[in-house]
Amino acid sequence: FLCRSCLFMVLHVALQAAVFGEYTWEVFVYCWELQFHLLLLLLPYLLLAGNLGCFLLCSRANPGTVTKSNAASLVKVYAYDGVLFQRGLVCPTCTVEKPARSKHCSVCRTCVHRFDHHCVWVNNCIGASNAGVFLLYLLSLTATAGALAAVTAAFLIPVLLLSDIMHGTYLDAKGQEHPVEIPFLVQHLFLTFPRIVFMLGFVILLTLVLGGYCSFSLYLALTNQTTNEWYKSRRWGGSPHLPSQPQDRPLIYKNIYSKGIWRNLKEIFNPPTVLERKKK
């Protein structure tokens, strides 16, 4: 754990503090004066509380560390697909047999069961034991950014309507008169509420980026894949629908871990154990 850095965790918390500081100091006050519904104004705070809870759980949880004491039992949880995961391989650093779907993390200096990736924002690996919490963390973070953007936009739009500037005109550098367009409206808002508009732009961008990442993470969860497996399978030109190939032909990856959408999603929040696999 000596290689871990708290830099991104501190940056993560600092950005949230800055955004919510601006929201509380200006947006909340202005919206309260405009008689916005209290529940709407408190929604970002409620989502923030849930997100911070998931953040703490995800960063402090054991992601599923493979040790000499549990390696023998974890080897029996998932079958080896023979392409991405081969039976009998030993981690040269941990000196333990590598269970299927595991990988050694050079940052945490340990092997992680059902390794997904190492997330610098939570300063922890994402594995079998905290993948579900990480998914909730992503969803709540996206929802928080979206709620902030929605409330802030709901404040700025009435401001434009009340100012009646949308029906006005302006003079350009040559003295010609033009009707007000969107760039002019954005400039006007930025000059009037610079911090609020800057925050709105940031949370909108954050919502779009996180929304895309959430969609990808949900796809992986519903198909029972990890980021590590999805990335490695690209090299084999694999598809979860392709049949197994004869030994004399190039190996083609096949996702043998998918059990259907609902069972895949359930596995994220309730990882299988050795006993559960034996029952099946």
> How far is the C-alpha of 127 from the C-alpha of 102, rounded, in Å?
9
For the stretch 96-118, pLDDT in tens is: 999 999 999 999 999 999 999 99
Residue 26 gets which letter from DSSP? I
Q: Which of 31, 119, 125, 214 is an active site residue?
A: 119
31 — phi, psi (to 5°)? -65, -35
Give which of 69, 136, 128, 133 is closest to 276, Cα–Cα: 128
Query: Which residues are CB-contacts of 57 (< 8 A; sequence separation ≥ 6)?
Result: 130, 133
pLDDT tens across 137-189, in order? 999 999 999 999 999 999 988 777 766 666 666 666 676 666 666 676 777 77
Q: 124 with 114: CB under 8 angstroms?
A: no
Find, among 278, 267, 275, the residue nearest to 116 by Cα: 267
Residue that the structure tokens 């759980």 belong to: 57
Distance CA 5, CA 192 (A): 39
CB atoms within 10 A of CB 89: 13
Question: Where is 225: in which H helix or E strand?
Answer: none
pLDDT per residue as tens, the chain (280 positions): 445 788 899 999 999 999 999 999 999 999 999 899 999 999 999 999 999 999 999 999 999 999 999 999 999 999 999 889 999 999 999 999 999 999 999 999 999 999 999 999 999 999 999 999 999 999 999 999 999 999 999 998 877 776 666 666 666 667 666 666 667 677 777 888 899 999 999 999 999 999 999 999 999 999 999 999 999 988 765 444 444 444 555 567 789 999 999 999 999 999 987 644 444 4
214 included as an active-site residue: no
pTM (2 decimals)? Answer: 0.85
Q: What is the pLDDT of residue 274?
A: 62
3-state secondary structure 54-103: HHHHHHHCCCCEECCCCHHHHCCCCCCCCCCCCCCCECCCCCCECCCCCE
